[in-house]
A and B are shown apart, each in its own frame.
Chain A
Amino acid sequence: MKKINTITFLIAIGAVMAYLSSASCGNGNGGNKTLGSTDTGKVTTKLSPILPFDVTLPPPPQRVLETTVRRGFDLFSWDSFIALSWPTDTTQVIGQHGDNATVWETWKKNYQVFLDSGQAPGSWDLTTQSKEVNLSQTGKTPPNMTAIFQPFLTGPLIDQNGQYNRFEIAMNQEMFEYIDQHKLYNIQGQQGFTDTVKFPEGDNTKKVWGAIMVKASWKILGKGDDTSRFHKIRATIHVPALPSRGIKDSTYEAWVGLVGFHIGTKTVTSPQWIWSTFEQVDNVPVFGKLEKGKHYNYYNGAAGDKALNKAPAQPWNPAIPNQIPSQVMRLTPIDTGTQALNDSIHKMLVMINPHNVWQYYELVGTQWPVNPTQSNTGNPFPVYMANATLETYDQGFIHAGKIVYSPGVTSSCIGCHNASVTWGGRPSDFTYLLKTAKPIKK
């Protein structure tokens, strides 16, 4: 059997699916597993808990950008999503009991790395770092960066119950250790760093994982939500103070459901990173393809489209009463090949358990650098890509009934992250995380 570290689907006529697996190695998360079909007791699946090192593509003669190459990257995305969403209880397979605590939720959160005190973060410890789930962000970027990004129309996403979405960011051990070893966890450390920031790269040849960062978008579960269709966690919800409205800083606990998920993976073949984005399937309708009667998380068929994909009026604070829900549509439909792959993976998840919660997540797309050495951005493809819960207001705009995209304005993972910098004024290797560092408190 051919040895590759991924689920591989062969695109032949009609997109025939096959699964290939390979040898034993770690999964990048501290445990050791054997690649290939997973068999835990009575449950067998071809899905794998092993994170891919890098993308695996067909031989050059068979590479066609929009079909076979896209499929290779989409497979990489799904492999990553499955492995990251795998149960922390390694005796289980994904969704065996419907929902499960996931591997990525044991990773370091951004607030556990970039401490308010500016001090060195604690060492990598899967047990302790997974116990804290504070959802304080109400925009795509952390509160202390919001002002910087207002020109990009970043704003809160409000669900049908008037609740703000919450967001969190986590990173894998390889990324954390690079930050830790180079003392990039505070402003002074970054200002003193005179080298080029270059996170580790995943490599199929060396069988090593590179830096991986994930960004999750959560909705507070409530009226109208079918909770069996969400990956759920109990989280501490933070409400920031807004003195002008008499709102005090507070926290409360609530069940939240995963609605959006970004995965950024640095690899040797994609030094501009591979950007994968997933959504919960009930989020939004596709522009021009409204399913009447369907409950959407962020669209109300009776509300009209005057405010379609527009950020709510300021001030932004989740405790302001009677907030108008966001009215959101997906402007760019999911590619048909990507959707076919989604359908195939969903069938595999249902085979594990008909109530498998992960069947309700779909790959929206994968963006990668087509010519990594051509320019700093490496000619990204697709040119634009947006997650309706994370780049809600940057999907493009509608003019005279047509969708208009604008380079430098419409969401492009690589295009936007290319502008990221450290506190030392140097490119930060496609992550804005370093800019969330604080100064050392003396």
Chain B
Amino acid sequence: MGVISRGIKNAFRNTIRTVSITFILGLSIAMSLIMLLALKTVQAKIDTVKGSIGNTISVSPAGVRGFEGGGELLTNENANEISALANVTSITKTVTDRLTLIGSTSNMPTREGESTTTNSTTSLTSSVEAGSFGGRQQRQQVANTGGDATQTFTMPVQVIGTNSLDSLSALSATKFDIVSGSKFDVSSTENIAMLGQALATKNNLSVGQTFTAYDKSITVAGIFDAGNTFANAMVLMPIASVQTLSGQTDQINSLTVQVNSIDNLSSVSEAIKNKLGSDKIDITSSQEEANNTVTPLQNIRSISLYSLIGSLVAGSVIILLTMIMIVRERRREIGVLKAIGSSNAKVMAQFTVESLVLTLVSSVVGIIIGVIFSNPVLKVLVTNSESSSTSSTAPGPGGSGGMAMMSRMGEGAGNAIRDLQAVVDYKIVLYGIAAAVVIAIIGSALPSFFIAKIRPAEVMRAE
């Protein structure tokens, strides 16, 4: 017989009380566990969603979208200013141009600051067929120029000059796999290019061969698969080369700004506007998508967190009141123990063991209930907050290829909420037991104080 065995014995001294406390405390521990699970699951999901939405901001000159509109192009200086902002991890500069097949008609409006002597022609034939959408372009051109309606119209070839091949959204790519050859040096000023898979096939070009553009001979450094038809019909070149060849020295069509965290998207967007002037630039970011998908998840997280705290507090209060009740009930016995030579510490230890045993038994009950009910409860939580999220995930602003991609990702994130699945691992169980021990110690701290205050002379009192 020792302090520990007495504590354990005492925990089961009153069967009805032990059963009811175990049940009530077990429920509260189960609740804590379920909420902890929900919290972890939802947090993991939030991280995934934030990661999948991407944390990029597109900056383009005000009024310019693709090749339409007017306005002033951005400059290298603008790019430097933006990359100096806080929370900006990297910046992708692109300058775009369109090349027409030598001998075909041009339907391009004259660009601002474009040298008229620049010959924006190429030996490349676009891999994209004009189709009925392209036919519309032809009709516009005929109407504008009064040219021959029977003349064949060919799609222009898109050229993107870039300083980075890492940003998929800047390249309108869904992926970027090298089919043959290698990536070019993005800081190069040489006349080298990478061709989209479809474009290379269409023109029977392979790595090392050359084609003509801007009246210059350009070497194919690599062939890539960007995962979509639009991007696979592109020519990628180092930004400096395109700027020189197209006569757009120092000019940039669009900037893709990579932000260190999705949470900083709006602050960085603001900073960019303040820096460059909101009338000079147009900014689109994945902020909206992020908000729409993350907000309901964050709501679930808050509910889980409050419930977790609530059930932990409830558990502590239950064991605290129980221990106070037990100590009051055994006042006389504590007096006897002290009278026959027990120290305060030993009596306290005995009661702490009792409280620990009660809590641990309750934890086992709680863990069992928690494991059984964690998924159903998580589902209820999700169903409730999903109804509020579906209304807010209404059609976002569509637009260019990049935007379409973003909204597709947003949709995926919406599905993600339904895919939440609580996974009970041993760590959670350990957390549960650790929480139980903490609860037990808190629960016996105040009673211990009462124990210390009980005078051994209590024992002399008449019954």
Q: Do A and B come from the same complex?
A: no
Using CB atoms and an 8 Å cutoff, list the residues of chain A in contact with chain B. Answer: none
